[in-house]
Amino acid sequence: MKTALITGVTGQDGAYLAEWLLNLGYTVYGTHRLTKTPDIWRLEYLDILDHPQFHLHACDLTDFNSCKTLIKQISPDEVYNLAAQSFVGLSFKEPFMTAQITGVAVLNLLEAIRIIKPSIRFYQASSSELFGQVEEIPQTEKTPFHPRSPYAVAKLFAHWSAINYRESYGLFATCGILYNHESPLRSKEFVTRKITHTVARIALGQQDLLVLGNLDVSRDWGYAKEYVVGMHRMMQHDVADTFVLATNRTASVREFTDLAFQAAGTDLIWEGTGLNAFAIERKSGQLRVRVDQNFYRPCEVGTMQGDASKARDLLGWQANTRLEQLCQLMVQEDLRRVEKGVPF
Ligand code: GDP
């Protein structure tokens, strides 16, 4: 049976992918960044930590020698590179660190694979953020890129590095351009989980108000658990390629907020626009949502909407969970956690 290495295994996608591969019979090695206390709550939540075929390692992927040692010791068949500084907002405050972890580290892995075991299949987690100021709607694998944040610029470097190693050295380096994908395992820095967690706290009387940034931006939001299956399919395809994974539906932050309050059994009346927008809860008349400029980004992306026809035709993959269902399952899980006092 195959051995896979997943970098960034403690993140949302890493945990779901580890679960998926373990269920398929893989031996899975996962890395997390060097810290005293790795953030293992997702691995615990999915009951992965004690699995006999799962192994957790700390590794600094920004260090080339560490990458070489990792590849040499584990000698995996497949490497899924999910490690990144993945918060777009933070990337504006920490551009150098983001460039190192999200961009240059990918080159360390590719180079280590090229030198030590070029038969390894490599998956690069590319991102819809590459499209940034979108040139068409919906976007496909052929849409030109126009990154709009230090995060997206770093991802662009990583994306083209993978393709360059594919074309220059024949490495099986495949890129998944994934649109936003959410779940109860999303961290609360991301807007969907911030919303569902806060809505749960409001519903249970632990908070009064949800404070957000730009309500009018829209995203193509899918369910992360389905997207990791797409990653695995890309790696089993005959040739390394680039694939968009998306739902082909776009919704604004405001619409997602509405869905979340509805999932908790209440609804909102919106007033005002832009920075002056706010929302009142219909049944209580209480102020529930307001906008704060501090959550705005220096630069925003356009309408994110992806066309995943290529993945459907070549990999048999498509997104099946509707945004309403996704939001509902996130709110339900957050209600359960908040009620139990679970901190994450
Ligand atoms: P991203 O697509 O990877 O940047 O995912 P996020 O979930 O962090 O942000 C999605 C969109 O929501 C961005 O366009 C943000 O500007 C917007 N947004 C509005 N309010 C907030 C907020 O309070 N927090 C975050 N993270 N994003 C917000």
CA 160 to the chain's CA centroid: 19
Q: Does the C-beta of 150 come closer than 6 Å to ligand 1?
A: no
| N residues, the chain | 344
Torsion of CA 332, 333, 338, 340, to 10 degrees: 110
Output the six-digit token pair for 290.
């307001």
Per-residue model confidence as pLDDT tens digits over 104-118: 999 999 999 999 999
Whether 88 is in the pocket of ligand 1, judged by its Cβ within 6 Å, is: yes
Q: Rounded to an integer, what distance in angstroms lies between the CA atom of residue 221 and that of residue 13?
A: 14
Question: Among 126, 209, 253, 293, which residue has the most ligand 1 atoms within 8 Å of its CB, making it the best to mutate?
Answer: 253
Mutation probe of ligand 1 site: the residue of 85, 191, 196 with most atoms within 8 A of C-beta:
191
How far does Cα 59 stand from its chain's mean position? 20
Q: Quick one: pLDDT at residue 4? A: 98
| Ligand 1 atom closest to residue 192's alpha carbon, by position in its atom list | 7
Strands 172-178, 242-245: pairing is parallel
| 45 pLDDT above the threshold of 90 | yes
**Confidence label for 35 from pLDDT (cuts 50, 70 and 90):** confident
Give the residue whose CA is nearest to atom 8 of ligand 1: 190
What is the full DSSP assignment across 135-179?
Answer: SSSSB-TTSPP---SHHHHHHHHHHHHHHHHHHHH--EEEEEEEP
Cβ–ligand 1 contact at 186 (below 6 Å): no
Closest residue by Cα to residue 220 from 303, 142, 152, 159: 303
* Contact assessment for residue 112 and residue 318, using Cβ atoms and an 8 Å cutoff: no
Q: Rounded to whole angstroms, how far apart are CA atoms 112 and 153?
A: 23
What pTM did the predictor assign? 0.97
Other C-beta atoms within 10 Å of 344: how many?
Answer: 14
- Mean pLDDT for the chain overall: 97
Q: Say what the pLDDT of residue 100 is.
A: 97
Residue 333 CA: distances (Å) to CA of 160, 199, 201, 212, 263? 38, 11, 12, 21, 11
From the list 138, 97, 148, the residue with the least C-alpha distance to 297 is 148
Q: Which atom of ligand 1 is nearest to the CA of 189?
A: 26
d(CA 271, CA 276): 8
Evaluate: CB of 121 within 6 angstroms of ligand 1. no
CA angle centred on 241, ends 236 and 245, rounded to 5°? 80
Q: What is the pLDDT of residues 183-239, one digit of tens each?
A: 999 999 999 999 999 999 999 999 999 999 999 999 999 999 999 999 999 999 999
Q: Which residue, judged by its Cα, is nearest atom 23 of ligand 1?
A: 212
- CA 9, CA 12: separation in Å to the nearest integer? 8
Confirm or reject: Cβ of 89 under 6 Å from ligand 1: yes
Closest CA to 140 of 224, 245, 10: 245
Residues contacting residue 237 through CB under 8 Å, at least 6 positions apart:
174, 314, 315
Task: Flag whether pLDDT at 38 surpasses 90.
Answer: no
pLDDT above 90 for 9: yes
Q: Does 36 have pLDDT greater than 90? A: no
Torsion of CA 91, 92, 97, 100, to 10 degrees: 70
What angle do helix axes 224-236 and 12-23 make, rounded to 10 degrees? 60
Q: Which two tokens stand for residue 225?
A: 């658990």
Kindly report, residue by residue over 49-88, the tens digit of the pLDDT.
Answer: 999 999 999 999 999 999 999 999 999 999 999 999 999 9
